[in-house]
Structures are given as C-alpha cells and as structure tokens.
Amino acid sequence: MKQNKKIAITHYISIRFSAIIFIMAAIMILFISYFSNKTIYFDIRRQIRKETHYDFLNIDIRNGKIFVNKNFIFEEDHVQKIILDSQGDFFRGHYPDKKLKNIPVNQWHFQKVKCSSDYYYIYDRPYLKKDTITNKRVLVIVRNIGKASDFDSQYKTMKYISYTFTFVIAFIGFLLIGIVSSQLTIPMKKIKDTADKIGTDGDLAKRIEYTTPFKELDAMIQANNRMMDRLEDLFQQQQQFTSDVAHELRTPSAIVSAECQYLKKYGKNIDDYTESLTVIERQNTKTTEIISQLLQLSRLEQGRIKDDFEYSNFKTLIESVCDMEPLQFKKQITIYSNLDDISIYMNVGLMAIAVKNIINNAMKYSKNKSSIKLKLWKEKDYVFFEVKDYGCGMSEETKKHIYDRFYRADKSRNTEGFGLGLSLVHKIIELHKGTIRVQSELGVGSIFTLSLPSDKSSQ
C-alpha cells in the first residue's frame, strides 16, 4: 500500500497559514481596488457638484444677454468652468482641450469622457436666471470640467498606501506564523527526544519535564507522563509477577523433588511411600490451585469468561460458601449473619469464588476462636454485602496493593494462600459492574463491602 509522504508539522502549519494569509491579502487588495475606485468616482462627482452650488450668484441676464460678474471663479481645485448659453454654445471660459467643445450638453448628468489621450469628468449644471429688464427666465449652463489624472493622482496615493499597509500586515502575519510554529514544534521536538531516549536507554523512570505556552501540549505531556507511570508500574508488576510465580511454584516443586530423593534413598516399606505420596499429592494440589487461579484471573482480564448470568438467591450462595469453609472449623470462628433474602443477576460460579475468597480472607487474618460478621442488604438498585473481621487489620500502604497479584501483607509468607484471592474478587466484581471498598485499621480489623447492581438493566 502506498504511503503518503510525511511532512514536518512546521511546514504543514506554515504552508497552510501562509496560503490563508495570501488569499486574505489578495481579497483585501481586490476589495480596496474595487471600492476605492467607486469611492473616488463618487467623491469626485460630489466635489465637482459642490463647486457649482453658488455659481448662479455671479451670473446676470439683462435684455437677453449674459453678464458674468468679476467674482466668478473659472478655475478652482482642478475644476475648470465654461459658461454656455441656452443653446449650449460657448460663451465664456477656457476648455482644457478644444475637442471637448464637441461634447453635447447633458444637463444634471455626471460624465466621464475620453478626449485625445486623456479622460475628463464633465458636469453640466443648468440655471434659470431672471432677466432683470424683461423679467423673462433665460437658461444658462455652467459646464464643469476636471481632468481625471489631476484627481486620480490625489486618490492613487491613498490607494497605494492601502496596498502597502496590506503587504505589511501580510508580512507581519508570515513572521508570526514562523514564530508560532517554532513555539509549537520546539516542545514537540523535546517530547520526541525524551521519548526516543526512553526507548533507546530503556529508562522507564524518565519523564518529560517541559512547560509549554500551550494548554494542549501541556496536557499531552502530562498524559504521556501518566502513561509512563502506568507502563513503569506494569513493568514492575510484571517483574514482581514473574518472581512471585517462580517463588510459589518453586516451593512445591522443591518439596516434590526432595520427597522423590528421600524415597530413592530411604524408602523401604509401604508406609514410607504412602507418607511421601501424601506430601507429593498435597504439593501437586497446591500447584494445581495456583495454576487454576492464574488461568481464572487471566480469563477475567482478557474478557474470555462465558457470559453465564442468571437471577439467583445471593443469601443462599453466601450461606453455602460459609458451610463449606474449612477455616471456620479449624480456627473455631463464629459467624454472625444478618442476611436479607435477596436475588441478583450474576454469574453464580464466579460470584461463589468472590464470596469464598473474601470470607476466607477474613477468617485467615482473624485470631482463633474469634468472630466475623456478615451483612447483606439492598438500597435502591444496589445490593451490598459486608464482611467484617476483628483480625490484624491493614496499613494504608498495604491497602494500596491488596488487589495486586501475589501481594501479601505478611511478607514472611507464613499465612496460607497465594496472594491471588483478592485480585480475583476485584476482577469478578468489576465483571458484574460493581465495586469493592475496604476499611481497615491496624490491630482493629477490616471491613470489605461489595456493591452490586441488583438486576440486569443496571449492569
């Protein structure tokens, strides 16, 4: 499969944002060009029209003849004025180009015409003046002519300033893109370098220690460090798991090997063989139990447990587990029960394992001839099962690790079990969409509380 060519994120950001700025600059230039031309045209028209507002005051009509007052201004602000009679014939003034005489009169209309090689703006303003002698009204036309280049030169300067300003803004935008992309890629490069170093050196304890001006990158760094914490923890757990499995399996294996050596050397009668075989069988049972619990835990973690759920009586299951618990009789432990008659949607086989392990754990760490308390009740859509013992209790540090595989609070490993029970309980309760909570105090005892959905719809 053909792979797309990879590019640096700096180039990716720079190219795309530069293209956006370029397009925006082009749009601004087109906008300025179009609207400036429109604005110039309307401004020139307004200016020329303004120049004609008071021209009629300096024009008089006497006996049908036109008289122009000496105060009449024939040229002002690039506008030349020509006085025409009622027939549109030239009376007085000066045309900038003689050919403009041929342009027909178009009263009140503003025109742009080409004459020779230049463009001119023409505005013909009509006045009806009263003859001071005959009292008749006579038409007089004031033609206003302005050379386009004279006006454009003023406005083009403004237009070019606008263009220059647009290019300056675009240039500043390109510089800012370079700065921002650098600010973005520098921390990303440091993240990559740190990750490469972790990969090459195998130092899972190393973390990315870099603060960026971007919240998203800081969040990514924190997420990466949390992931590294998790990986380091899993790696340590894996190492510990390997060590614990080796230790747990080495002990029965060593005992079996010793018994075999003993039989070879000292086995003489049936009693010797019977005693050694009993020891071998016990160690084989222990090994089988370890392997069985490990397989069960592995299936739970990988989600390969058969979905065999059904509604069943939780009280009956707890009572059955208690009746079959050998530690109850071995340590003469009294069980006080306060169990409501409740049925829940559960995998009966797995829940029996969880209940057995949690009750066995309470008895295991209780003193001989002591007691434990069991309580089962329902609140709203959840069922709660509580196991309380008066044993040795746990420290805060121990509580953090009780669900780790092969973890034991008793480091000497004198207590029965393999340290897998509570790990199984935790996974089974998770499978049932429930929770497990522990309260404990050294020298006082522990309380384990299971919280489980009561019906299928809550799971």
CA–CA separation, 72 and 132 (whole Å): 19
CA–CA separation, 439 and 316 (whole Å): 26
Centre a 10 Å sphere on the Cβ of residue 164 and count the other Cβ atoms it contains: 10
Determine contact, residues 44/151, Cβ cutoff 8 Å. Answer: yes
Residue 152, pLDDT score: 66
CA–CA separation, 28 and 19 (whole Å): 14
Q: What tokens does 381 get? A: 């859509």
pLDDT at 191 over 60: yes
CA–CA separation, 355 and 370 (whole Å): 20
Q: What tokens does 300 get? A: 């739970």
Residue 3, pLDDT score: 56
Local confidence band at 338 (pLDDT 50, 70, 90 cut-offs): very high
Q: Average pLDDT, stretch 308-332? A: 87
Determine contact, residues 81/69, Cβ cutoff 8 Å. Answer: no
Fold that domain 215-301 belongs to in CATH: Helix Hairpins (1.10.287)
Give the residue range(s) of CATH 3.30.565.10 domains in the chain: 306-458
Centre a 10 Å sphere on the Cβ of residue 110 and count the other Cβ atoms it contains: 17
Q: Average pLDDT, stretch 57-73? A: 88
Query: For 371, phi and psi rounded to 5 degrees?
Result: -145, 160
Local confidence band at 412 (pLDDT 50, 70, 90 cut-offs): very low
For the chain, the residue count is: 459
Residue 263, pLDDT score: 74
Q: What tokens does 389 get? A: 């013992």
DSSP string, 2-58: PPPPP--HHHHHHHHHHHHHHHHHHHHHHHHHHHHHHHHHHHHHHHHHHHTTTGGGG
pLDDT at 91 over 70: yes
Give the residue range(s) of CATH 1.10.287.130 domains in the chain: 215-301
Q: Average pLDDT, stretch 298-306? A: 62
% the chain with pLDDT above 90: 9
Residue 1, pLDDT score: 46
The CATH class, in words, for 306-458 is: alpha beta
Q: What tokens does 3 get? A: 């792979």
Which of the residue ranges 71-80, 104-113, 332-341, 409-418 would you say has the lowest mean pLDDT? 409-418
pLDDT tens-digit readout, 377-410: 998 889 999 999 988 888 887 777 777 765 655 5
Q: What tokens does 387 get? A: 């196991």
Residue 295, pLDDT score: 65
pLDDT at 127 over 80: yes
Local confidence band at 413 (pLDDT 50, 70, 90 cut-offs): very low
CA–CA separation, 330 and 26 (whole Å): 91
CA–CA separation, 361 and 398 (whole Å): 14
pLDDT tens-digit readout, 209-224: 766 666 777 787 788 7
Residue 386, pLDDT score: 94
pLDDT at 16 over 90: no
Which of the residue ranges 312-326, 350-364, 420-434 would you say has the lowest mean pLDDT? 420-434
CA–CA separation, 363 and 367 (whole Å): 8
pLDDT at 111 over 90: no
% the chain with pLDDT above 70: 83
Contacts 24+ apart (CB under 8 A), 71-79: 76/51, 77/47, 77/51, 78/146, 78/147, 78/150, 78/151, 79/47, 79/48, 79/51, 79/144, 79/145, 79/146
Strand residue runs (E) in 11-89: 59-62, 65-68, 75-76, 79-84
With CA atoms as reference, report the closest residue to 159 among 21, 78, 151: 151
pLDDT at 376 over 90: yes
Q: Average pLDDT, stretch 30-57? A: 78
Centre a 10 Å sphere on the Cβ of residue 219 and count the other Cβ atoms it contains: 11
Counts for the chain of helices (H) and strands (E), in that order: 9, 15
CA–CA separation, 269 and 267 (whole Å): 6
Q: Cα-Cα-Cα-Cα dihedral of 156, 158, 163, 166, to 10°?
A: -170
With CA atoms as reference, report the closest residue to 131 among 70, 54, 53, 59: 59
Give the relative orientation of helices 348-364 and 314-323 as an angle to the nearest 10 degrees: 50
Q: Average pLDDT, stretch 260-278? A: 76
pLDDT tens-digit readout, 165-179: 888 888 888 888 777
Measured CA to CA in angstroms, residue 295 lies from 238, 283, 342, 429 at distances of 16, 18, 31, 17
Is 188 or 171 the better-scoring residue by pLDDT?
171
Measured CA to CA in angstroms, residue 206 lies from 196, 202, 229, 239 at distances of 11, 9, 9, 18
Q: Average pLDDT, stretch 61-85? A: 87
In terms of Cβ atoms closer than 10 Å to its own Cβ (0-12, 13-18, 19+), residue 317 is buried
For the chain, give the mean pLDDT.
Answer: 79
Radius of gyration of the chain (CA): 50
Residue 388, pLDDT score: 92
Q: Average pLDDT, stretch 69-80? A: 85
CA–CA separation, 67 and 57 (whole Å): 11
pLDDT at 195 over 80: no
CA–CA separation, 350 and 139 (whole Å): 113
Residue 336, pLDDT score: 92
Q: Average pLDDT, stretch 355-381? A: 89
Is 60 or 260 the better-scoring residue by pLDDT?
60
Q: What tokens does 117 get? A: 């090689």
CA–CA separation, 284 and 288 (whole Å): 6
pLDDT at 235 over 60: yes
Three-state DSSP at 50 gives helix
